[in-house]
Amino acid sequence: MKTCLLFLLAALISMNCLSQDMPGIKTIAIEKKLRDFPDRFDLTSPLSAFVSFNYAYVNKRTNLLREACSISRRSELPDSASEELHVSDGIKELHLDAEIIEVIVYHDSLAYVISKYNKPSDSYYSIRKFYLEQGKWENVMEVLRDDLQSGRVFAKTHAEIDFDNLHQVYATFLK
């Protein structure tokens, strides 16, 4: 019984800590669909980089897709001379109708954009991570979650680790 109560108390304290902003974290509510933004290539903010990355993907612009990605990930993407990306009309509409919920920024150099994708059978949340590299916000990776709260928890619990990884990217690729 004591173990159960201690576990419950620890869980409640943990949830309360995560619900409050940590030092260095800003959360910006967006609540707009991707299609509400212009198709313009702009990496000056995490939101504009997210929009640019997704438009590059749905419009099959391989060269811009590579440019919107972190230097540490570019080798994993097809180059502009390779075959065209295959994006069906259904996938394109899924991305254009995605609701951008919020942007979580950590120490003005790491960001997570949380968006909601609604499929006919279900919905899911995308947490896309961006690093600020040489003045541009660059896509690093995407993680999927079933609900908004677990997306927020992911971002806030990984912020310090990802911030340290950003310094490794600087040291390795941006000498």
Largest CA-CA distance found in the chain, in angstroms, rounded: 64
Residue 67: domain span: 25-173
Note the pLDDT tens digit of each residue in 76-122.
776 665 556 789 999 999 999 999 999 999 999 999 999 999 988 88
Q: What is the 3-state secondary structure (H, E, C) of the chain?
A: CHHHHHHHHHHHHHHHHHHCCCCCEEEEEEEEEHHHCCCCCCCCCHHHHHHHHHHHHHCCCHHHHHHCECCCCHHHCCCCCCCCCCCCHHHHHHHHCCEEEEEEEECCCEEEEEEEEECCCCEEEEEEEEEEECCEEEEEEEEEECCHHHHHHHHHHHHHHHHHHHHHHHHHHCC
Overall pTM > 0.95:
no
Higher local confidence (pLDDT), 93 or 163: 93
Cα–Cα distance between 7 and 60 in angstroms, integer? Answer: 49
47, amino acid identity: L
Cα–Cα distance between 127 and 119 in angstroms, integer? Answer: 17
Q: How many other CB atoms are there within 10 angstroms of residue 105's CB atom?
A: 23
Note the pLDDT tens digit of each residue in 8-61.
434 444 444 444 457 789 999 999 999 999 999 999 999 999 999 999 999 988
| Residue 5 maps to a domain | no
Cα–Cα distance between 58 and 73 in angstroms, integer? Answer: 19
| Residue 90 maps to a domain | yes
Note the pLDDT tens digit of each residue in 139-156.
999 999 999 999 999 999
| Residue 10 maps to a domain | no
Report yes or no: 127 and 114 within 8 Å, Cβ to Cβ: yes
* Number of structural domains found in the chain: 1
| Residue 49 maps to a domain | yes
CATH number at residue 103: 3.10.450.50
Choose among 137, 84, 105, 136: nearest CA to 27: 105
| Residue 156 maps to a domain | yes
Cα–Cα distance between 116 and 134 in angstroms, integer? Answer: 29
- Per-residue confidence band for 5, with pLDDT thresholds at 50, 70 and 90: very low
Cα 67 vs. chain centroid, distance in angstroms?
Answer: 16
| Residue 8 maps to a domain | no
| Residue 1 maps to a domain | no
